Structure 1
Amino acid sequence: MYTRWLAAHTADTEPSQSTLDGYANAYKHCSSITQESMGTLKYKDYQSILDRMRRAGLSYSALKKVRSLISLVEKYALQTEAVAKAYAPLLRIGKNHPVRPHHCFTRQRINRLWKAVDQPGVDTVLILLYTGMRCGEMLAIRKKDVNLRQGTIRITHSKTQAGIRTIPIHHRILPLITARMQQPGDTLIADITGRAYTYGRYSTVWDKVMGLIGGNHTTHDCRHTVATLLDNAGANETAKRRILGHAGGDITERVYTHKGLRQLRKCIELLP
């Protein structure tokens, strides 16, 4: 049933590769029931999967994805009359207790980064702090996606459709981007040999920079910092969403509101 649903769902919605990977990972957690007929499965069969995940210490997000997958497959099974009842609305995943809440970079730590900008990897943290990009988005940028004359970066690989966007380059990081463009390799962020970074390899660079400034941040704290600083500066909400790659809040904003490059640049330049 999962295979049949996935084929139909993919044809209808054209999900991103990261979304498909998420489905596959959630499906693995359901291995105890994948050989069973859906018509024989009951509430306790589904709930036991989630309970086992909770006992194993898996995140709230992981449990939510598994419940979502069960709901999607059950809905398809109902539509095809393979089952007569859905149990997903009854499933419990507990409360969300963040393992580590996100923390903004302080002004002092950002200043430390600028003072140490010549140290390896520091420029990459500043790029994240002045663009609001996800770390994976930054590592995927190819030099052909950077337009120095126009002063923009085009994000072509993102976890969401809204993440495909153009970000104006803040004037403070323009020299850092320019220097990266002159180094070996096809990707903007690469080592001295021109070899692109995987997320795992980049984490070593990140940890060294955090040690340099006495910080204990995750890469996602950069996005949290950008969002907070723009909020504090009174940034236009739609422009902020476009820069961060968030979907619009309502249909009017998503379809009828268009923010030009000049307005996006005005927004990004609110970052101190």
Structure 2
Amino acid sequence: MRKPNGYGSIKKLSGNRRRPFVFCVSEDGRQKPVEYFTNQVDAEIYQADYNKIHYHRSLPGHKVTFAELYHRWLPAHIEHYNPSTSAINSYHNAYRHCQTLHYMPYSDIKYQHLQMIMDGMRKSGLSYSSCKKVRSLISLISKYAIKLEYTNKNYATLLNIGRNKPARPHKPFTRQKINRLWQHVDIPGVDTILILLYTGMRCGELLALEKQYVNLRQRYIRIVKSKTKSGLRIIPIHDRILPLIEKRMAMSGSTLISDPDGQPYNYSRYCTLWNNAMQVIHADNHTTHDCRHTVATLLDNAGANENAKRRILGHATGDVTDRVYTHKGLRQLRKAITLLK
């Protein structure tokens, strides 16, 4: 659709630029750059907002597209929920799977368009988890669209993504393997695995944990970056891993888990540490998520309070009152965490 005179223009600059798209306006007969962008969608959103703010006008007949809605929703979601880096990357990947919808007016998107994406992903051999992430993104964007009154429907709950067939079911660490970890605690990275096994943290939560959120005096960890809202929680520090955490706190770097130069680990770099430690204890078939399954299994076997177990793992409790941490609640969590031997 042709844009009206004086609405400004978007150009793509040549060369290998980090932000190649530029929004320009006419001033004294010359094109004046206003802002630069990494992609055209962000540039068009800025162009529309610029004209609304400066000239109080919108494009006649303009319909918000799926891409525009996504690029408006994501900054608002990040500001409100502060999701982890891995969660944000998951949103970007899920968005790319919705490529056929990007430039469709959101009000024109129906159930069959969304189900075709799910069916195409399954035919391509993508996992149940990948389909689930795309469905989750569609649900989040639909809820945002409902708030803005672009639609009154959320088709996400109707989408069929098939059955979950895990390629490698998770399995807990045995007591023998946990003992081996303690025997080799001085090997680089082994202490991080023990911290995961005695806190129930997700690997991403541990790698993002800043030292300012570790309270050694009252012996608890506060998770402020997680993949879910329920993941924002407090975890008591178990007596056995307290010396490991104290040692990590004394090292350089702003995050609890840092390399010798004080730099934080991303998941890819951390996997090298993990794999080396797994070779030492002869447990090459374990993943980082097995630590959470181990904590859940051990707490179940020890008869831990169900609400306390959910709080420690960061699972939804289903009861609003159970989501509020009190001093009594922290004592209950500490009582539960001590059941891990």
For each residue in 1:39-72, what CA deviation from the matched residue of structure 2 results, as whole angstroms up to 9, or x when unmatched?
6555543332212211222221221232344455
Matched position secondary structure for 1:153: strand
Instruction: Give the corresponding residue for 2:16.
Output: none
Q: Is 1:220–2:286 an aligned residue pair?
A: no
Q: How does 1:144-183 map to 2 (within 5 A)?
A: 144-183=212-251
Residue 229 of structure 1: which of 298, 307, 328 is its match?
298
Match of 2:162 in 1: 94
- In 2, distance between residues paired with 1:106 and 1:100? 17
Cα RMSD between the aligned structures?
Answer: 2.9
Among 112, 118, 121, which residue is 2:189 paired with? Answer: 121
Question: Amino acid of the residue matched to residue 223 of structure 1?
Answer: R
Give TM-score scaled by structure 1 length.
0.86
Instruction: Show CA shifts across 1:161-201 (max 9, x none).
Output: 22222211111111111111222222211112222111111
- Alpha-carbon distance in 2 for matches of 1:78, 1:152: 39
Q: Which amino acid aligns with 2:338?
A: E
| Alpha-carbon separation, structure 1, partners of 2:182 and 2:153 | 59
Structure 1 residue 207, shift from structure 2 partner: 0.6
* Distance in 1 between residues matched to 2:171 and 2:114, nearest whole Å: 35
Percentage of pairs with the same residue: 61
Larger strand proportion, structure 1 or 2?
Answer: 2
Is the Cα contact below 8 Å between 1:16 and 1:159 reproduced in 2?
A: no
The 1:112–1:32 alpha-carbon spacing in structure 2 relative to 1, beyond 3 Å, is: same
Task: State the secondary structure of the residue aligned to 1:190.
Answer: coil
AA of the residue aligned to 2:312: I
Name the SS of the counterpart of 1:166 in structure 2: strand
Give the TM-score of the pair, scaled to structure 2: 0.70
Looking at CA atoms only, which structure, 1 or 2, has the larger radius of gyration?
2
The one-letter code matched in structure 1 to 2:212 is: K
CA contact (8 A) 1:153 1:169 kept: yes
Compute the displacement of 1:106 (Å): 0.3
Query: Which amino acid letter does the alignment assign opposite residue 211 of structure 2?
Result: K
- Conservation of the 8 A alpha-carbon contact between 1:162 and 1:247: yes
Greater mean deviation of Cα atoms: 42-51 or 202-211: 42-51
Deviates more, 1:149-158 or 1:193-202: 149-158
2:100 is matched with which residue?
A: 32
Asked if structure 1 preserves the Cα contact closer than 8 Å seen for 2:232 and 2:314, the reply is: yes
Question: Shift in Å at residue 20 of structure 1?
Answer: 5.5
- SS of 2:221's equivalent? strand
How far the C-alpha of 1:267 sits from its partner, in A, is 0.9
* Alpha-carbon distance in structure 1 between the residues aligned to 2:223 and 2:143: 34
| Corresponding residue number in structure 1 for 2:314 | 245
- Within a 5 Å distance, the mapping from 1:11-160 to structure 2 comes to 14-18=80-84, 21-38=89-106, 41=109, 43-71=111-139, 73=141, 88=156, 90-160=158-228
User: Once structures 1 and 2 are overlaid, which stretch shifts more, 183-192 or 35-44?
Assistant: 35-44
Quote the offset at 1:143 in angstroms: 2.1
Partner Cα distance (2:180, 2:88) in 1: 40
CA contact (8 A) 2:83 2:225 kept: no
Q: Does structure 1 residue 190 correspond to structure 2 residue 258?
A: yes
Tell me, in whole angstroms, the C-alpha distance in 2 between the residues paired with 1:77 and 1:183: 46
Give the count of matched residue pairs: 271
In 1: Cα distance, 2:202 partner to 2:236 partner: 15
Tell me which amino acid in the other structure corresponds to 1:50.
M
Q: Tell me how far apart the structure 2 counterparts of residues 111 and 36 of structure 1 sit (CA, whole Å).
A: 56
Q: Aligned AA for 2:293?
A: H
Closer, same or farther in 2 for the Cα pair 1:263/1:28, shift >3 Å? same
Deviates more, 1:246-255 or 1:14-23: 14-23
User: 2:69–2:141: 8 Å Cα contact kept in structure 1?
Assistant: no
Q: Which has the higher contact order (CA 8 A, sep 6+)?
A: 1
Residue by residue over 1:209-267, the C-alpha shift from the partner in whole angstroms, topping out at 9 and shown as x without a partner, is 11111112111110110011011101111111221122212334336987432221111
The unaligned stretches of length 5 or more in structure 1 are none
Secondary structure of 2:100's match? Answer: coil
Shift of 1:37: 3.6
Structure 2 gap ranges (5+): 1-63
- Show the counterpart of 2:279: 211
Question: Contact between 1:238 and 1:259, CA under 8 Å: does it hold in 2?
Answer: no
